[in-house]
Amino acid sequence: MGDYMFMLESHLSVDQFRVVGEMRDLASEAGINIFLTGGAMRDMLGGFPVRDLDFTVEGNALKLAKAAEKKLGAHLVSTNETYKSCELLLPGNVTVEIAMARHERYTKSGSKPQISPATIHEDLRCRDFTVNAIALSLNKASLGLMIDPTNGAGDIERKEIRATHNYSFYDEPVRMLRVLRFKARLGYGIDERTKAHFDNAREAEMLLRITPDALGAELRHLAQEPNVADVLQALSDEKLLDLYSPALAGAKLNLPEFQKLQKARQLVPAGMQFRLNALPLFLSILLEKLNPKERAVLNKAANLSKPELNATQRLDAAAKKLERELKSPKLQKASQLYQLLVNAHGEEILYLLVDSEQRLVQDRIKNYFQKYLPMTQEVTDEMVAATGVAPGTPKFQKAKEQMILKRLDARPKKPPPLPEPPPPPPTSSFARGPSVRHAR
């Protein structure tokens, strides 16, 4: 039992693990059973980085979220009253989803389900794929117990995506897009029967029953994918992009730009805090080749909101401004470049890596990711505390920042070029010629 708790500690970031402990204590105080579920369990068992923490509670999730706001300084990002779930952002940039364990009953395929509170076992059995249907108990009496009613752990070991039941794609047809996204992301295969269910659901025209809200939610997920080009390629191969826009099914899908974006995202050092609003960046590439009519079709198909579209429109101008600043001859020191980029929005930086034709701009961003950001890790809290500043205070953060800037500028300059080697001693022209051979 303890093994999974140990695995959790070694797999999550320090902040994520702290939040798991805090949420466990909050739920215990409220007398609610809490489990770590979904993507967090899949990614931990599969050896992938955990992006956000999905908690499922047997009880009132929204009440627990309120307590997290009050006691943990959580910021409420969104609430879903139907599913009794909400998304929170906790200190340390930890994204959390808390959902009520639920039973879903679909009276009609693709329709809104009837939701009722359930046990964790019932909840897991209603989920999409077995790899997403695993829970870890965080409750005192069963701490560290893994609950895996559909043997998702076995499928993770086999690297296979399997639907939890025969109606998975019929209940929620958007899962036909999800399965391809997970396949491309995890590099797993799709189990034969699941493939057959997929084909049957397609034949039965289940794709037409995906609601604009579900298509929009999936588009937002797509925008977050680090390997976005691979996922889009998979969706395009399966001819699923015309659900969003017939134009994207043709030549207007800008895959080369998405490949550049995928490469750019790989430059961001793992484990570094990097603020990225991925949707406007994704949309700006997706919409680039579409004419206004085609854009309107896509906006309607995915029910995109005004603020989302406005943020996309603003990105181009904001990135161009950053490009001008990055070209400035005033940027002499490493610390100046670091300060400019550490305060810039991630989507603007990546936009320039994809779009800018300025060599200097590309080089400066690459230096930031490959040299300067990793260097900031060399300044530890212990080093700052040794100067006598009290940890956890604003003064401490400031002192740390100052130490980082100093270290960046103290980097040894490139070593001077080696002196020219002495010229070789003069020899006969025959010996110097590379291919002169004398016939015997």
Residues within the interface to ligand CTP (CB under 6 A): 38-39, 51-52, 54, 127-128, 132-133, 172, 174-175, 178, 221
Determine the Cα–Cα distance for residues 350 and 261; give it in Å rounded to an integer: 7
Order of all β-strands in the sheet with 75-80: 75-80, 85-90, 94-100, 53-58, 33-37, 135-137, 146-147
Residue 37: φ, ψ to 5°: -140, -170
Q: Calculate the alpha carbon distances from 213 to 204, 210, 295, 305, 320 in Å.
A: 21, 8, 17, 11, 32
Q: Taking a C-beta distance cutoff of 8 angstroms, is the pair 142, 136 a contact?
A: no
191 CB neighbour count, 10 Å cutoff: 17
Q: Which is nearer to ligand CTP, 95 or 259 (CB)?
A: 95
User: What is the DSSP secondary-structure string of 107-161?
Assistant: SSTTSPPEEEE--HHHHHHTSSBGGG--EEE-SGGGTT-EE-TT-HHHHHHHTEE
Q: Which is nearer to ligand CTP, 224 or 380 (CB)?
A: 224
Cβ burial, residue 354 (10 Å; 0-12/13-18/19+): buried
CB of 51 to ligand CTP, least distance (A): 5
Read off the DSSP letter of residue 189. E
Determine the Cα–Cα distance for residues 1 and 392; give it in Å rounded to an integer: 34
Q: Which is nearer to ligand CTP, 152 or 280 (CB)?
A: 152
Determine the Cα–Cα distance for residues 210 and 231; give it in Å rounded to an integer: 19
Strand 189-190 with 160-161, pairing = parallel
CB of 244 to ligand CTP, least distance (A): 17
CB of 218 to ligand CTP, least distance (A): 9
What is the dihedral sign for C-alpha 405, 406, 408, 413?
positive
Q: Which is nearer to ligand CTP, 33 or 130 (CB)?
A: 130
Which residue's CB atom is positioned nearest to ligand CTP?
39
CB of 127 to ligand CTP, least distance (A): 4
CB of 38 to ligand CTP, least distance (A): 3
Q: Which is nearer to ligand CTP, 24 or 178 (CB)?
A: 178
What is the dihedral sign for C-alpha 205, 210, 216, 217?
negative
CB of 160 to ligand CTP, least distance (A): 16
Q: Which is nearer to ligand CTP, 133 or 326 (CB)?
A: 133
CB of 124 to ligand CTP, least distance (A): 8
Q: Which is nearer to ligand CTP, 110 or 369 (CB)?
A: 110
Cβ burial, residue 182 (10 Å; 0-12/13-18/19+): buried
Q: Which is nearer to ligand CTP, 54 or 348 (CB)?
A: 54
CB of 3 to ligand CTP, least distance (A): 22
